[in-house]
Amino acid sequence: MAWRTERGKQTVGLVAAASAALALTACSPGGSDDGDAGNREAKYRRVIEDPHPHPADVIEAAGAPTGVARADDGSLLLTYEAGNVEDDEGPAAMAWRIVGPDGRTVAEYAEHTDAEAARAAFKGVRGGFVRVPPGEGAGGTYALDPHGKRHRVVTAETPVRTRPGDTLLAELEPTLVYRPATRAVAPPAGVPDSAIRLAVDERGTVWSLDQPLTEDPDRVVWQRDGRTLGSTTVPKPYTGGILAARGGTAALSLVRGEGVRGVLVTTDGGGQWQTVLGGGLPWRDLKRGPEWLVMDLLADGRLLVGEEGGRYWLADDRTNSAFRELKTPAKFTSFTVDGTTLYGIADATTATYDLVAGEGLWISRDGGREWRRFE
């Protein structure tokens, strides 16, 4: 039920199929590369019904990745999904492709699945990538090195004290961190039972949003090595939303009623906090609700805020007191930050035979001033 290829084992047909996929991604949004929408529909149906789909065929059918992860050596792992267009049930196909720092395909994999299966997702870590658990518990988790070789991940039930390099793999129910040095996943020690949001930075600090069962306000608590380092109260009349943490900076979105109205930020590891309610961020223009918010931190401490399928803003500097709106080359349905690189994906929000305007992966290395389409 799977097809896998690695560098040195690819055929001429694979190269041709991959080239066709790139040409298709670059075509106009109205249909396939030959202008025959019906032909594209037929190809798409064949791919999702194929019990042994070829990776390049799944990638061509999908048109754009569903996710992107970056390893520490600069390799990218792109995931792709092609699902049943007529219904949320039925056949589907998934694939992943690892692209080396030089832009060449290193390994790829595809399998037949169904439209109700959990979407495949990976996180970039030191030494490669790790599969995010597709359901409750750590079942289905494994690691891939930059060459696409699969490695077993050990699951531990005993909580561990987080250390530098640990990656938050699953936020809640269960909460799991991944340790690249041992290829092991385990719950982090010391997380309060009242925690409803979590973030783990590269120093191994665990930041949690705690929501008490009493009338007391929400609190942000940060811990390291199993010890609580400090806490701060979420200012009234707000409740906490999304947490992000990196490089001594931590940020919490502030929710009031049905909308996000600001952000609580520290840039010195929790020593001082500021409430940002303006700074060029038109919070009331975010119409889709807190669940659609995108918030992440660049490695230099700058905060990125936006809304899935909408607009995005980036802080001018690590003080995170003033923001500018990003000009994007297409309407991004997802946005990812790694280091100081921005990754935007333009795709349809539901399975479709045709492509949308600008469909594909876009990359910016200068804070969103210039974008290039990944090919």
Q: What is the mean pLDDT of each run of 10 residues along the chain (375 residues)?
A: 50 37 39 57 96 97 96 97 92 97 96 92 96 83 96 93 93 90 94 92 94 90 90 95 93 94 95 92 88 94 93 94 94 94 95 94 96 93
What pTM did the predictor assign?
0.87
pLDDT of res. 307: 93
pLDDT of res. 37: 56
pLDDT of res. 25: 41
Listed as own residue / partner, the contacts of 93-98 with beta carbons closer than 8 Å and 24 or more positions apart are: 93/47, 93/48, 93/50, 93/53, 93/58, 93/61, 94/58, 94/119, 94/120, 95/53, 95/55, 95/58, 95/59, 95/62, 96/55, 96/120, 96/122, 97/55, 97/59, 98/129, 98/144, 98/146, 98/147, 98/148
pLDDT in tens, 286-328: 888 899 999 999 999 999 999 998 999 999 999 998 999 999 9
pLDDT of res. 136: 76
